């Protein structure tokens, strides 16, 4: 069955009101937070009793390994 296609007249839409300009939001930058850490005397004593290698950072360990320290090189081998 064939249906005839009808044409319609275009409908005009009402003009859109102009949008008011958007207000620019002002970004308030907060001052950086400051954290304070208090370490007890017992914790400081325990930290002082540890060998120096126990508190070094990974980058310090890696530097020691690159300088040829055999203990450090062995430790770094575990992470490769």
1-6 contact pairs (CB < 8 A, 24+): none
**The predicted structure's pLDDT at residue 41:** 92
Is 80:65 a contact under the CB 8 Å cutoff?
Answer: no
pLDDT digits (tens, 9 = 90+) for 17-65: 667 666 666 666 777 788 888 889 998 888 788 776 677 788 888 888 8
**The predicted structure's pLDDT at residue 63:** 85
**The predicted structure's pLDDT at residue 75:** 80
Specify the residue for token string 């325990």.
Answer: 46
Q: Find, among 51, 50, 80, the residue nearest to 65 by Cα.
A: 80
pTM for the model = 0.31
Phi-psi label, residue 56: left if phi above 0, alpha if psi -120 to 50, beta otherwise: beta
Cβ atoms within 10 Å, residue 62 = 14
């Amino acid at each position: 069955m064939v249906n005839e296609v009808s044409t319609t007249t275009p409908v005009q839409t009402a003009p859109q009101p102009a949008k008011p300009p958007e207000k620019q939001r002002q970004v308030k930058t907060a001052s950086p937070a400051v954290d304070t850490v208090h370490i007890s005397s017992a914790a400081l004593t325990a930290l002082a009793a540890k060998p120096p290698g126990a508190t070094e950072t990974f980058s310090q360990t890696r530097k020691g390994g690159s300088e040829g320290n055999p203990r450090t090189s062995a430790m770094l081998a575990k992470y490769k």
